[in-house]
Amino acid sequence: MLEVGSRYVNGSVRPLIERFSHPKEYVGVDIEDGRFVDLILPVERLVEHFGSEAFDIVISTELLEHVKDWRVAVENMKLVLKCGGIIYITTRSHGFQYHGYPYDFWRYDLEDMNKIFSDFTILMLEKDPECPGVFLKAIKPTNYKPNDLKSIALYSIAVGKRTLEVKGLSLRRKFLLGLRKFQIVKGVF
């Protein structure tokens, strides 16, 4: 079982998984060392490190909105999963506030996830009932053939509209995002 995620945003689900399903192996991957992190590795290098079809289950919690090249991240999670394996993903949707640690690029809606995982069998795809976000549970088919993600445009909180990619941000946009982050942090104190 592989968990790739952002413990800084939502924490790890590892204690729940280990308590209730007792996996033979559980590998927690993140970009920095911390609690429940077994390996420091960017999601873009999963296949390079583990090889294809290495895990029965892949769990990604609150990660995809923070990865600039979401296509490479998704492709790596799909490829590292065995055929017949299950992927679980939670991520944020349009309407969720900016929360950059270290970055915040994308928002996903149900239609986006349907397109991104049209090469999988989707078992569950739901809106988060508490705040803008989505939950996906899908199976990688035995006859897996990857879909083309190049034409899928997502809403980017960094750019402020749907786009295929995030390039350099204008000085104005950087200022507005910095101001928004300051206001969020300021409101905590």
Pairing verdict, β 81-92 and 133-139: antiparallel
Residue 40 phi/psi, 5° resolution? -90, 115
First vs last Cα of the chain: how many Å apart? 39
**E strands, 48-187, in order:** 55-61, 81-92, 106-107, 121-127, 133-139, 154-156, 161-163
Distance CA 87, CA 144 (A): 14
Tell me the average pLDDT across 32-58: 92
Q: What is the pLDDT of residue 5?
A: 61
* More confident: 36 or 48: 48
Closest CA to 123 of 66, 161, 85: 85
Chain-centroid distance of CA 109 in Å reads 13
Element at 139 (helix H, strand E):
strand 133-139
Question: 2-152: what fold?
Answer: Rossmann fold (3.40.50)
Distance CA 22, CA 16 (A): 9
- In tens, the pLDDT along 60-96 reads 999 999 999 999 999 999 999 999 999 999 999 999 9
Tokens of 157: 């909180």
Name the least confident of 2-6, 38-42, 64-68: 2-6
Per-domain boundaries in the chain: 2-152
Q: What is the pLDDT of residue 34?
A: 82
Tell me the average pLDDT across 17-39: 86
Tell me the average pLDDT across 96-120: 92
Residue 6 has pLDDT above 70, yes or no: no
